[in-house]
Amino acid sequence: MDMEIILASQSPARKKILSDLGLTFRVVPSHTDESHENLIRPHAIAKRIALRKAEVVSQKNPQAWVIAADTFVVLHDGQLALKPVDRADAKRILSHLRGSYCDVYSGLAILNRFAKKQWVDYEKNSFAFSKIFRSGTGRISKHK
């Protein structure tokens, strides 16, 4: 029996990562509630939402290895920056970051119900933004 891998995401970037690794997989979006009630620590939110996505897809595919992820930005003032709804919203978020920094949290979950295996973790990266002038785009650098 072949090992089936399912990516619980429609993200082009996540599809590319798995393809670049040479993995054969199919995409099954989770369409999961991404609320994070009762969770205030960003790493816990990232891990819980990623696991929730994997669990939803795994319910209908218990023998497959399901890979799910969630990524979001925490602004310098502690607010969560959700995905921009349009270009104007993206500009608003970027202007909020001008001369500041943000943390990007990514949660990853890998789940196989049949094998009773589960792995959940997260990664945090910090980015510093220079001032963005009207004549240019400014610079973004990874902050250690």
Tokens 């009762």 belong to: 38
Give the CA dihedral 20, 23, 27, 31, nearest 10 degrees. -80
From the list 2, 20, 33, 70, the catalytic residue is 70
- Catalytic, 20? Answer no
Distance CA 50, CA 48 (A): 5
Q: Contact, 44 vs 105, CB < 8 A?
A: no
Catalytic residues, by residue number, are 70
